[in-house]
């Protein structure tokens, strides 16, 4: 299964509520993830808020984007209920990052 962001909503600060395929909802805080030259403009909160969905992930007009797998990996569950799809995706994504296969 290919992981994609299908919807994103700005919450506050550098937090976004993301919906991944299969209707998995997660919250991600990117406050400590925006390192490197390409992410410098995103330190301006108004610029950060100008994100859009492109090719299954969040992107900005300067070309910055973040892999959906990484967004999922660093995000938190929303609510108490968890679907089988979310458990499966957590296992797959955690396996990728714990093995150093993605980075």
pLDDT digits (tens, 9 = 90+) for 30-43: 999 999 999 999 99
Q: How many domains does the chain have?
A: 1
Distance CA 46, CA 96 (A): 33
69 falls within a domain: yes
Query: Please, are residues 19 and 27 in contact by the beta-carbon 8 Å criterion?
Result: no
Query: Please, are residues 69 and 15 in contact by the beta-carbon 8 Å criterion?
Result: no
Q: What is the CATH number of the domain that holds 69?
A: 3.30.2020
Domain housing 17? 5-98
Find tokens 């390192």 and name the residue.
35
What is the structure's pLDDT at 2? 83
14 falls within a domain: yes
Which of 53, 50, 45 is closest to 20 using CA atoms?
A: 53
Report pTM: 0.86
Distance CA 26, CA 78 (A): 5
Residue 49 pLDDT > 80: yes
73 falls within a domain: yes
103 falls within a domain: no
């Amino acid at each position: 299964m290919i992981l994609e962001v299908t919807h994103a909503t700005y919450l506050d600060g550098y937090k976004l509520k993301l919906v991944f395929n299969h209707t998995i909802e997660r919250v991600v805080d990117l406050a400590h993830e925006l390192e490197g030259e390409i992410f410098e403009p995103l330190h301006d909160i108004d610029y950060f808020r100008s994100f859009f969905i492109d090719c299954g992930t969040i992107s900005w007009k300067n070309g910055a984007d973040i892999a959906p797998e990484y967004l999922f990996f660093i995000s938190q569950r929303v609510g108490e209920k968890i679907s089988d799809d979310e458990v499966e995706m957590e296992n797959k994504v955690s396996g990728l990052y714990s093995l150093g296969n993605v980075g």
